[in-house]
Amino acid sequence: MHEKNEKRFYNYDTPQNPIRGVNIGGWLVLEPYITPSLFEAFRTNNYNDDGIPVDEYHYCEQLGYDEAKSRLEQHWSSFYTEKDFANIASQGFNLVRIPIGYWAFQVLPTDPYVSEIQEHYLDQAIQWAENNGLKVWVDLHGAVGSQNGFDNSGLRDCIKFLEEENLNVTNSVLNYVLTKYSDEKYLDTVIGIELINEPLGEALDMDKMKNDYLLPAYNHVRNNLNSNQVIIIHDAFQPYNYWDDFLPPSGESWGVTIDHHHYQVFAPDQLDNQFENKIHTACEWGNGVLDESHWSVAGEFSAALTDCTKWLNGVGVGHRYDGSFNRGEGQTSYYIGSCEDNENIFSWSEERKVNTRKFVEAELDAFEKRGGWIIWCYKTETSIEWGVDRLIANGLFPQPITDRQYPGQCD
């Protein structure tokens, strides 16, 4: 085991010194709501989203490799720069979680993805982080065949992660990522590797995922690489304590960490809930992890109290908040409020501004009861609720990061 690595990681093992991070979303893995301009280029009419690709897979497929490569390289080289990482550090954050898809490293013969370029930008970002005193989680955000059917996996409406060929390629990619970023060269900056983002547990054979994906990855790091690199496992949307008996608990090694993601905007009853109940729910998120055997971090959450950001739910899907949501399969919504002019801060009521700040502060206080937090995400092209840089600019996110206008909400 690397003594240096153990000291590095234990910088963040107490509530007195939590992870306070941001996600670098929509960069090396496209998400339409984060960079809508890339997808608006396909628009054919003003009435619906017909013809607009729903994810990165179809984005590349519709453009063809060479044109997709040209547009994506322009995006990768400009959407994030070292100045953003310097800003992140100056605003009091200490970590960035960087999503990347399997296709950055290896593809199926039938894949349309642009490949073997993103790794350069990931390595560049790790250097930017090191230059600015930030730590990094490398997050494998998309598996072959998709682990959840979300557009953020690269391929929407498909969950074929555990099919043999798909799993073999994903395992190959993961072993490469683990081997590279567990090397001594990276250990001071890359303090964790997330094995897969948001596998949809209810749609997967959990035993197969554990035995054929998660365990081999753990054994590769600990036994083949003899590394103490931190291994991060997303909770697969399972309840608290589900993972308690899987892999060594925190008492033996801080090196296995459970990543919980928390949102209150992806169901009508959440959106329509009384604000006081939303605060209570946020505070309970912090209490739920206190007796888990593994250390935990809230690896995603947001300031959002609506789902009004365009394409948040996916291209062509609409919003639950204003009743326009239409995903089929009996998923319905009803009118709660208007989404009109949602990205204009001057249209926000004072109550909405106050509530957003209260909600964010409750989340931060809750998550700092244990390992800390990584908010989603640092910036978008247009969204206020989902862009930390805009939240900060509008006084909706604490600066300094420990400032509280509404202290004690979770006491």
Is the distance from CB of 224 to CB of 176 less than 8 angstroms?
no
pLDDT of 209-239, one tens digit each? 999 999 999 999 999 999 999 999 999 999 9
Domain count, the chain: 1
User: pLDDT at position 254, please?
Assistant: 60
pLDDT top residue among 402 and 255: 402
Which one of the listed residues 56, 194, 198, 361 is annotated catalytic?
A: 198
Question: Torsions phi, psi of 123, nearest 5?
Answer: -65, -40
Structure tokens, 370: 């244990």
Strand pairing class (190-194; 231-234): parallel
Predicted confidence band of residue 256 (pLDDT cuts 50, 70, 90):
very high
pLDDT of 338-355, one tens digit each? 999 999 999 999 999 999
Examine residue 191 and state whether it is found in any structural domain, yes or no: yes
Examine residue 231 and state whether it is found in any structural domain, yes or no: yes
Examine residue 337 and state whether it is found in any structural domain, yes or no: no
Examine residue 405 and state whether it is found in any structural domain, yes or no: no
User: For 284-313, what is the mean pLDDT?
Assistant: 97
User: For 88-116, what is the mean pLDDT?
Assistant: 98
User: pLDDT at position 17, please?
Assistant: 85
Examine residue 259 and state whether it is found in any structural domain, yes or no: yes
User: pLDDT at position 232, please?
Assistant: 97
User: In this prediction, what percent of the chain has a pLDDT beyond 90?
Assistant: 92
Predicted confidence band of residue 389 (pLDDT cuts 50, 70, 90):
very high
Structure tokens, 99: 């999503």
Examine residue 108 and state whether it is found in any structural domain, yes or no: yes
Is the distance from CB of 262 to CB of 288 less than 8 angstroms?
no
What global pTM score does this model have?
0.96
Examine residue 189 and state whether it is found in any structural domain, yes or no: yes
Mean pLDDT of the chain: 94
**How far is it, in rounded angstroms, from Cα 2 to Cα 183?**
10
Contacts of 371 (CB under 8 A, 6+ apart): 12, 13, 18, 19, 257, 289, 295, 296, 297
Which one of the listed residues 56, 194, 300, 385 is annotated catalytic?
A: 300
Give the CATH number, domain containing residue 63.
3.20.20.80
Structure tokens, 172: 């190959």
Q: Which domain holds residue 299?
A: 3-303+350-393
User: pLDDT at position 331, please?
Assistant: 73
Run of H or E including 358? helix 350-367
pLDDT of 201-216, one tens digit each? 999 999 999 999 999 9
pLDDT of 10-38, one tens digit each? 455 556 789 999 999 999 999 999 999 99
What dihedral angle (degrees, nearest 10) is formed by the CA atoms of 51, 57, 61, 64? 120
Our answer to whether residue 67 is catalytic in this structure is: no
Our answer to whether residue 198 is catalytic in this structure is: yes
Structure tokens, 184: 């001594």
Backbone dihedral region of 330: left (phi > 0), alpha (psi from -120 to 50 degrees) or beta? left
Examine residue 271 and state whether it is found in any structural domain, yes or no: yes
Contacts of 344 (CB under 8 A, 6+ apart): none
